[in-house]
């Protein structure tokens, strides 16, 4: 049930043009300071996960591994997406709250 909320929030952010997706665009958003949250797919390569983990740690951007490439892409209305960056802080905070709740249940 919480998964649907996260994917719904991704869709809302996408419609509001508050999401960038793909490795290069997400990296650029982190480096420029516009990213408020980064989500990387669970089935993304280990190099991609490590790259975003390091970048987000350095630039102090919240980072989560969640969903699959297919699910993230579907939530955005696109094809496969291994990473995305949310640029709206309000939506990012709502997503972080949902992601934290999922982590505490595990």
Q: In this predicted model, what pLDDT tens digit does every residue of 46-81 receive, in sequence order?
A: 999 999 999 999 999 999 999 999 999 999 999 999
> pTM above the 0.85 mark?
yes
Closest by CA position to 20, among listed 42, 3, 40, 35: 35
Please provide the average confidence, as pLDDT, over all residues in the chain: 93
The region that residue 21 occupies, defined by phi over 0 for left and psi between -120 and 50 for alpha, beta otherwise, is beta
For residue 60, report the phi and psi dihedrals to the nearest 5 degrees.
Answer: 55, 55
Instruction: Please give the angle made by the CA atoms of 59, 105 and 19, to the nearest 5 degrees.
Output: 40
Please tell me the distance from the alpha carbon of residue 90 to that of residue 43, in angstroms, as a whole number: 27
Predicted local confidence at residue 1, as pLDDT: 39
DSSP state of 82: S
104 falls in which pLDDT band (50, 70, 90)? confident
């Amino acid at each position: 049930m919480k998964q649907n909320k996260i994917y719904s929030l991704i869709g809302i952010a996408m419609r509001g043009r508050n999401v960038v997706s793909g490795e290069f665009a997400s990296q650029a958003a982190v480096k420029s300071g516009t990213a408020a949250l980064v989500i990387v797919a669970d089935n993304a390569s280990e190099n991609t996960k490590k790259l975003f983990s390091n970048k987000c740690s350095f630039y102090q951007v919240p980072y989560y591994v969640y969903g699959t490439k297919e699910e993230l892409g579907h939530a955005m209305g696109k094809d496969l997406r291994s990473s995305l960056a949310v640029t709206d802080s309000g939506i990012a905070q709502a997503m972080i709250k949902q992601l934290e709740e999922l982590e505490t249940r595990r």
